[in-house]
Structure 1
């Protein structure tokens, strides 16, 4: 019998290029992103016992037991079905996340990769990080019905600070971890602010996907510009140019707001505006848009003051470190 095990997937911050990894754009024009994983994540713990499989989640405050509600489309019951399809029908699976689901930090992909990693561990199957990401992407899209880009499962499975390019089915990853002085400068100024609400990213992304599929000229121009931003960010990392890197974060956010009416709102705009006048050098909303976490990069020496100032806008304003391991079992 498999011993108790915990699968952990880090969450990710996308600095630039988000949206260029979402079909059909990368298949036609090629996509490019820069991201890093962080020291917040999603854990899936398996505890073996002789009873019917139980799935529970602290985040949803829900639990399901095998065959309790057949046919249910509830996320936890679909997860239960995933384990059953893989022949795992006894024991307990406990899910815990460091941030609320749907918060723009890749939590959906972190959950799926963590579950898959746990399933393969229980079945004594080995997978490379790329094989795991391939499987997670297809599962999230086809089984869980999520509209997503290819960035998240690959970024999370590998971990680290990196540039990723997408050309049809080819995904190239260039690690930027060697530029340690540049990364440490950005890292120690990184702040995440939770807006107090989450959203279903698929709903926000539908408008972008529709426009891209229809060949909308303005959308394609914006996506190509986002791709250029990510490519320049890669160059900034190699040259140690953090000021330009942060300028590109702001520029990318201005472009992203053109992707749809629901990308931003008065509340998000107000928080970002206040942050930029209170010690932030750069700021953008993470994920598809509308709600979730706002990324802020403080001016040098200002992160403590910025954090205190932004606490009046949110109950969760956190400093983070970057993660270089990716998914793991312990």
Structure 2
């Protein structure tokens, strides 16, 4: 048996600039971190060599790739021309909650299949191949940030060049500042799920509008400023820059926010948060807030009706958890 995992991500600023409709014209950038919540995938040989067994939120036993319902499993297994295996997936967090679950799944699956074949794949290759699967082959209207975050892990600045190349740069901070940042980020679960592809499709279409493109460019400027401020150990800058980014992001597409999200945001800000945002494309899932330590009790009280999720930042990226010595 082989087990791989990839981390979920929290995107702070710049989301949307990783869409081809934007970065191919202007270049884009995102600052994000991965967290110690993971997608796990396993593979082992199946008794019947002409069949495939898949276990996720449902179970499938098929004889041909064309029979597979799960689109990412179907595409990847077909690409690798792989039968006679049983694969299963497990996750610490539900899909559709704004933490990049689809791309995290794809990265972990590709890592699993390359390892099964006895082939090394760099983190960049895993991210790039995941983008090809989701964006080019499956036609999803999504960007590149989730695939690169899941593959590389950590607190990083991603720059999306018009050529399609992605620069990956770690955020270098003092350990004390890193801990302060980690401690001052509070995450709350709103419930529900969303289709990132549907929201991002509208956002991608809107980018042809000059005013919308200018908003996205301003978000990139905020992202670059956040990078500089964090590397200067000005951790509290995270709050007001998150707020500026969220105010801009809400105007990019109709499904990003709604009255429930606005109410939660206002309650947190009135209780002492200095900034925050909805995670992911929009509509549902998790919200994150930057809250100074002396205001955290008040914010938790203000959001008493929501489930808080404790988390720590991750630095591992896509990794192999277990492999039998004689498996490959």
The answer to whether the superposition gives a TM-score over 0.5 is: yes
Structure 1 position 6 matched with structure 2 position 8: no
What secondary structure sits across from 1:258 in the alignment? coil
Structure 1 residues 68, 310: CA separation in 2 closer, same or farther (over 3 Å shift)?
farther
Structure 2: which 5+ residue stretches go unaligned?
Answer: 322-328
Q: Where does structure 1 lack aligned partners over 5 or more consecutive residues?
A: none
Deviation at 1:279, TM superposition (A): 3.8
Instruction: Evaluate the alpha carbon distance shift between residue 307 and residue 56 of structure 1 in structure 2; reply closer, same or farther with a 3 A threshold.
Output: farther
Render the CA deviation track for 1:183-202: whole Å, top value 9, x for unaligned. Answer: 21111122221211111111
Could you tell me how far apart the structure 1 residues matched to 2:124 and 2:104 are?
A: 14
Give the 3-state SS of the residue equivalent to 1:88 in structure 2. Answer: coil
Which residue does 2:62 correspond to in 1? 66
How far off its partner does 1:329 sit?
Answer: 0.6
Matches within 5 A, 1:194-209: 194-209=189-204
Equivalent residues of 1:64, 1:77 under 8 A apart: no
Task: Compute the displacement of 1:182 (Å).
Answer: 2.3
Instruction: Give the CA deviation at 1:230.
Output: 0.5
Trace 1:168-317 onto structure 2 (pairs within 5 A): 168=162, 169-212=164-207, 215-303=208-296, 306-307=299-300, 309-312=302-305, 314=306, 316-317=307-308
Label 1:70 to 1:128 Cα distance change in 2 as closer, same or farther (>3 A): closer
Establish whether residue 327 from structure 1 lines up as the match of residue 318 from structure 2.
Answer: yes
Q: Using a 3 Å threshold, how does the CA distance of structure 1 residues 144 and 303 change in structure 2: closer, same or farther? A: farther
Equivalent of 1:23 in 20, 23, 46:
20
User: Structure 1's 304 and 324: CA in aligned 2 closer, same or farther, altered over 3 A?
Assistant: farther
Point out the more displaced range, 142-151 or 240-249: 142-151
1:179 to 1:156, Cα distance in 2 relative to 1, 3 A: farther
Shift of 1:305: 5.2
Equivalent-residue separation in structure 2 for 1:94 and 1:187 (angstroms): 32
Q: Secondary structure at the match of 1:242?
A: coil
Asked if 2 retains the 8 angstrom alpha-carbon contact of 1:160 and 1:323, the reply is: yes
Instruction: State how many pairs are aligned.
Output: 318
1:191-241 Cα shifts (integer Å, max 9, x gaps):
2212111111111111211122xx312101101100100000011111111
Tell me the distance in 1 between the aligned counterparts of 2:198 and 2:6: 24
TM-score (normalizing by structure 2): 0.91
CA shift, 1:141, in A, is 1.1
Tell me whether 1:35 sits opposite 2:32 in the alignment: yes
Bigger CA drift: 179-188 or 124-133? 179-188
8 Å CA contact retained: 2:194, 2:283: yes
Could you tell me how far apart the structure 2 residues matched to 1:122 and 1:108 are? 21
2:326 corresponds in structure 1 to none
Closer, same or farther in 2 for the Cα pair 1:311/1:43, shift >3 Å?
farther
Q: Secondary structure at the match of 1:82?
A: helix
User: How far apart, CA to CA, are the structure 2 residues paired with 1:142 and 1:65?
Assistant: 27
Measured on the aligned residues, the alpha-carbon RMSD in Å equals 1.8
**Alpha-carbon contact 1:42-1:111 (below 8 Å) kept:** yes
Instruction: Provide runs of 4+ in structure 1 moved above 6 Å.
Output: none
